Structure 1
Amino acid sequence: MTEEAAEPIRRRPGGRAARVREAVLSAALELLAEEGVDRLGIAAVAARAGVNETTVYRRWGSREKLVLDAMLAGSSEGIPVPDTGAVRTDLAAFARALAEYLATPTGRSVARAAALSSDAADPELAEAWQAFWRSRLDQAGAVIGRAVERGELPPDTDTALALELLCAPLQTRALLGHRPIEPDLPERLADLVLDGLRGRD
């Protein structure tokens, strides 16, 4: 084989691997929305993705790691972390993205599973959920970190608490369905959270 003929091969490292990963995660997210996290199985994911089960096991190692990767991919894409230059618009944009994600079948399925994650009987699945929450907190926490750097929030701001205050009402309404998520709710929540974080004069 000539050097010219070999060149295209050297230009495609990871090409197939990337396509397989995308297909498997897409299939996992579809099944997550349809079946829920507890019923998601590697055989079904592999069949829908058009790959062998051994391919999935070789890359992810276990069902729990596949579930975690799929959830992180779905939530990262569905709930991007904004950077508008101001904490109020960042928080409102993040809340709006979360509300829109929770309105999708995948978002609702993930939220329902998350609500039960602390009672997971499988230690590996429970650890996968903990890793999911840590990763999402690290990503979304950048909003609070930037606000502290800009002087918009005090240095001792509790990042986890701030995000919980912002997200909990949306998750509660989406899961229980007892009240709608009004169009202006993200901005109202952002204002309430900021009022609480900044304290009283």
Structure 2
Amino acid sequence: MLAAARRLLAEEGLDAVTHQRVAQEAGVGRATVYRHWPRTDQLLLDAMGGADLPLFRAPETPVRRWLRKELRQMADELAIPAVAAVSLTLAQSALSDARIAHPHDESVKTITERIHAAIRSAVAAGELEADIEPPDLTAMLVGPIVYRATMQRAPASDDFLGRLVDSVGTWHDQPG
């Protein structure tokens, strides 16, 4: 069942991972899926467990352009109502369920480390002047996108994403 859920997740995205679809893909009854995962957030969490997060994985230079591209991908995914709903459900569940909190915290840690590594490389290359703590940096870049998608239920424009990236420091054009 988890293999079926992971396949759906990889091929069709978060909104495809439902009890019914997983049951169909795995060739089992829907009640069997519900017995193992009474809530969709639990099913998604287990399906995502062990899978590498696709966002912010391989920084490219110039980092400024790469960061805008990665933020665009995140904003586009969160613009899908089912993805936004699942994201909020997982975050909310992590507040009260230790089983969900640990992998949620690990995901947040991974995103924070990846963004910080990219920013460090931009600073080292002279592309950026910035001195922001990693958790603050992630909150400054990711937080507004989540708010725009879930609270305002509005798309994040390219200008909006550009202002987020520009807010982390002073960027310098790189030759080439």
Specify if TM > 0.5: yes
Paired with 1:129 and 1:166, the residues of 2 have a C-alpha distance of 18
User: In structure 2, what is the equivalent of residue 26 of structure 1?
Assistant: 7
- 1:85 CA drift (Å): 1.0
Given that 2:79 and 2:154 are in contact with CA atoms closer than 8 Å, whether structure 1 keeps it comes out as no
Paired with 2:87 and 2:7, the residues of 1 have a C-alpha distance of 18
User: In structure 1, what is the equivalent of residue 141 of structure 2?
Assistant: 166
Q: CA RMSD in A?
A: 3.8
User: In structure 2, what is the equivalent of residue 9 of structure 1?
Assistant: none
TM-score (norm. length: structure 1) = 0.60
* 1:62-100 deviation digits (Å, cap 9, x = unpaired): x95961552774x833x3545331232132222211111
Which residue type is aligned with residue 157 of structure 2?
E
Residue among 129, 143, 160 paired with 1:185: 160
Residue among 100, 105, 109 paired with 2:85: 109
The 3 A distance-change label for structure 1 pair 178 and 106 is closer
The 3 A distance-change label for structure 1 pair 172 and 64 is same
The 3 A distance-change label for structure 1 pair 46 and 179 is closer
Which residue type is aligned with residue 24 of structure 1?
A
For structure 2, the residue ranges without an aligned partner over 5 or more in a row are 172-176
Whether 1:94 and 2:70 are equivalent positions in the alignment is yes
- 1:136 CA drift (Å): 2.5
Given that 2:84 and 2:150 are in contact with CA atoms closer than 8 Å, whether structure 1 keeps it comes out as yes
Whether 1:70 and 2:48 are equivalent positions in the alignment is yes
- 1:22 CA drift (Å): 5.1
For structure 1, the residue ranges without an aligned partner over 5 or more in a row are 1-19, 58-62, 197-201
Paired with 1:179 and 1:64, the residues of 2 have a C-alpha distance of 27
Paired with 2:169 and 2:91, the residues of 1 have a C-alpha distance of 26
Given that 1:101 and 1:107 are in contact with CA atoms closer than 8 Å, whether structure 2 keeps it comes out as yes
Given that 1:102 and 1:108 are in contact with CA atoms closer than 8 Å, whether structure 2 keeps it comes out as yes
The 3 A distance-change label for structure 1 pair 117 and 86 is farther
The 3 A distance-change label for structure 1 pair 33 and 71 is farther
* 1:43-68 deviation digits (Å, cap 9, x = unpaired): x57513315669xx8xxxxx959615
Structure with higher Rg: it is: 1
The 3 A distance-change label for structure 1 pair 102 and 158 is same
* 1:137-193 deviation digits (Å, cap 9, x = unpaired): 233333123223323446854222112101111110101126542232111211122
Hey, which of these two has a bigger chunk of helix by percent?
1
Paired with 1:69 and 1:144, the residues of 2 have a C-alpha distance of 30
Given that 1:114 and 1:129 are in contact with CA atoms closer than 8 Å, whether structure 2 keeps it comes out as yes
Paired with 1:115 and 1:124, the residues of 2 have a C-alpha distance of 12
Identity of matched residues, %: 23
How many pairs were matched up? Answer: 161
